Amino acid sequence: MAFGFIGTGSMGRNLIEAFIRSKKMRPSQILIHNRTRDKAEQLTRHFPGIRIMKNNRSLVAESNLFFLCIKPGEFRSVLDEIQDEVRREQIVVSITSPVMIRDLEEWLPAKIAKVIPSISHAVLSGNSLFIPGNRLTITDREELWDLFSGISQPVQIREEHARIASDLASCSPAFFAKLLEQWANAAVNETDIPKETAFILVNQMVQGLSRLLEEGDFTLQSLQERVAVPGGVTREGLHLLEQRVDPVFQELIRLTHTKYEKDIQKVQQSLNTPLHEKR
């Protein structure tokens, strides 16, 4: 079984490293190509056995399953390049949410899936968002599910929920890292606590919170109830957060959805521009 990766940027590299760490793939099974060769070479230095292909066409020709780990604006040129090499029996996995499965199925004869990953796969955790295309067989779906089960907990979603599910599963690590950074900085600015101490406390708190939710039989709601006793300082803090933070998250969702719709329109305009006769 040969696995190809077109694009070895941040998320492409994250997937490759996670699959190797989970032993779902061996380096010798992995073929890669990246527009910037240096990024590909960095991977081969870390994982001897990975092969750098001379172009995307040669990668597709030798792959049973390949991943499109590229930006939305790069899809037209890549699809133009590989279209004639793609085979019906191949599985193509896109990790780019604004590129619709129906558009990929128009361009490529292969079996298509969209699987949106998360940075948390680096520690073999988090959710991968699984959206199967119409051509996948039951066996194909099971094999993909098993593959991603090694690095995550897959969740099947409908494509129309890709944006909000991505907000919750894929973007949230960055969003909440920012909130925690601001929380620690506020503590430093409002008191004389050393910055190093504040960040140690916040980092350890996050690790403990994760274990409470995973191992301690807590839900988000029950944890709040346990900590925030009536009349206590935590309860007052929760009231403030409800008043101030709720509107921010609603605005955040509106922002990501607006950007997502614009990205979809740009991709579809690019793919429908008659510069190349599609099969």
Specify the DSSP element, H or E, that contains 20: helix 10-21
Q: Is 36 annotated as a binding residue?
A: no
**Residue 5's CB: how many other CB atoms inside 10 A?**
29
Q: Is 11 annotated as a binding residue?
A: yes
Q: Is 9 annotated as a binding residue?
A: yes
Q: SS3 helix, strand, coil % of the chain, rounded to 5?
A: 60, 15, 25
Q: What sections of 123-194 are H helices per DSSP?
A: 138-149, 162-166, 172-190
Q: Is 133 annotated as a binding residue?
A: no
Q: Is 216 annotated as a binding residue?
A: no
Asked if residues 32 and 59 have their Cβ atoms less than 8 Å apart, the reply is yes
Asked if residues 74 and 95 have their Cβ atoms less than 8 Å apart, the reply is no
End-to-end CA distance of the chain: 27
Task: Give me the residues paired with residue 33 across strands.
Answer: 6
Q: Is 1 annotated as a binding residue?
A: no
Q: Is 100 annotated as a binding residue?
A: no
Structure tokens at 155: 């969740």
State the Cα–Cα distance between residues 107 and 85, nearest whole angstrom: 12
**Residue 158's CB: how many other CB atoms inside 10 A?**
8
Q: Which residues are annotated as a binding site for NADP(+)?
A: 6-11
Which residues does the annotation place in the binding site? 6-11, 56
Residues making up the binding site for NADPH? 56
